[in-house]
Structure 1
Amino acid sequence: MNRRATLRVLGAAIGSLAGCTASNVRPPVANQPAPGNPDPIVGAGFPTTVCNAPANPDIGSKAIVTPAAGPNWDGLTVDERYRLRGEGEAKLTDETFVIGVERNGTARAYPVSILWWHQIVNDTLDGDPLIVTYCPLCQTGMVARRIVSGNPTTFRNTGQFWRPPDLYVGASLQEGRAFAASPYVDDAEVIFDGNLVLMDDLTGSYWSQVLARGICGRRAGTRLWTLTPDVMTWGEWRTANTNTDVLLPPPLSRTG
């Protein structure tokens, strides 16, 4: 994985797992049942009650469910939320950090400035259904096939956070299932105060983003098939992948 940003990953992940606080446990929404059936590792993380907490996607960031892509952002009116620190306007520049994915010659860049707000992008690249995810709370990324029980599905934000056991996080980072990323140079360090919990539409199971693993529900204990992306600037990615396109910000990419 090519990462221009400094990745002080493993030591930071194991040494600074501060854990979730009570404020991380979000209130439920009607008609969103909790999945139950916790994986055994849930009891070693925090909170141990995450599988009993109903999903609350309306309180978290909305996942991108219908992405749009183009050669660049030229001529677009972009919401100010996608403006990075120190920039006068929201735009895509050669210095914008992206998560780059390539499948059989088809390349796409996902700006971290979009992922910071939406955290999950459900996409299809060269016919392969993928999720590109980012947890801004802890600066971890994970890219995987969005296949559950042999079928493509859509992933969404549960509105919950869960801190996995330290050794599992260290192993996931070391084995490349997850990685550190940041919108800013030299900031790509895992800052672990809690981790994004995903939910798939097919089974309603909960998934740990940093572990790429089911932690609650029917798919508890199973892993997603992860990919190894590149984390670099848009200028670097475009130079290395001349045929690339890039994710366009909402409302061109639709959330849900």
Structure 2
Amino acid sequence: MVFARNVEGQTLTFGVSGKLIMNALVMYDHQTQSLWSQFLAESVDGELEGTPLEFIPALHTNWGTWSSLYPNTEALNKGSSNSFDPYESYYIDNKTGVLGETNSDNRLPAKTIILGLRTSNLVRAYPLDLLKDKPVINDSANDIPTLVAFDSDSGAGVVFHREIEGKTLTFDLHRIEMESTPMVIDRETGTVWEMLTGRAVEGSLKGQKLEQLPTTLAFWFAWKDFYPNTEIYGE
């Protein structure tokens, strides 16, 4: 998750509080000592309680995919690193966080990874297993026509508002020989778009860009604890 840290006219500096709410990170800000829920994206205690954080849409992917899309990216150098993932066994065992589950909901297995979408009046989950079989979905989040796209090679999922200049577009997967960047094509104009950036690269709408909507990649057990009224796509 990525948030803007300008809040009510001041720039906040965040740290890790060491606390958890339903297994999820609780941050604090140095300026007011308010506590902030990562999942709820708002302050839950202190001077700024109830104040929301602004989501900045981001892409959860691997470095190879990201650097091919944005070759001039500046990267944080943390020194030496290794490829070992200490949580590898956690992904497949039956443990659900430190505190266990709060909301019982067996519509999906607890460790199912979902792409979560939250708007002002709708919360929807897209299981990654479903997206692997159906990588392009023309959906609607209430009154917002959405494009849900998934690249199985990089494991990256993204949601866009699929409307340009007042026209709603309908998308299909578009494969180009020798092209490593995943593409989609709209039926209305035949314009080709980069799947993961929403940039039009060929056709009458070249140069246009779809608006990306904030999403969260999460385990089902964590997401449904915070959003028990979640709709699951396909149900």
Could you list the per-position Cα deviations for residues 132-157 of structure 1 after superposition, in whole angstroms to 9, with x for gaps in the alignment? 11111222222110113321121111
Could you list the per-position Cα deviations for residues 182-217 of structure 1 after superposition, in whole angstroms to 9, with x for gaps in the alignment? xxxxxxxxxxxx222101112110000122100110
CA separation of 1:247/1:13 partners in 2, compared to 1, >3 Å: closer, same or farther?
A: same
* Match of residue 119 from structure 2: 103
- 1 or 2, which has the higher helix percentage? 1
Match of 1:129 among 113, 136, 145: 145
Matched, 1:201 2:187: yes
The number of residue pairs the alignment matches comes to 147
The structure number with the bigger radius of gyration is 2
Match of 2:202 among 206, 216, 228: 216
* Match of residue 224 from structure 2: 238
Match of 1:150 among 158, 162, 166: 166
Q: Secondary structure at the match of 2:176?
A: strand
Q: Which stretches of structure 1, 4 residues or more, deviate above 6 A after TM superposition?
A: none
For structure 1, the residue ranges without an aligned partner over 5 or more in a row are 20-71, 75-91, 164-193
- CA distance in 2 between counterparts of 1:123 and 1:104 reads 17
Within 5 Å, give how 1:43-62 maps onto structure 2. Answer: none
Q: Secondary structure at the match of 1:207?
A: strand
Overall identity of the aligned pairs, in %:
23
Structure with larger RCO (C-alpha < 8 A, sep 6+):
1
- CA distance in 1 between counterparts of 2:170 and 2:121 reads 24
- CA distance in 2 between counterparts of 1:99 and 1:217 reads 30
- CA distance in 2 between counterparts of 1:100 and 1:118 reads 16
- 1 or 2, which has the higher strand percentage? 2
Q: Secondary structure at the match of 2:175?
A: strand
After TM superposition, the score normalised by the length of structure 2 is 0.55
- CA distance in 2 between counterparts of 1:9 and 1:241 reads 24
CA separation of 1:161/1:101 partners in 2, compared to 1, >3 Å: closer, same or farther?
A: farther
The Cα shift of 1:108 comes to 0.4
- CA distance in 2 between counterparts of 1:8 and 1:156 reads 22
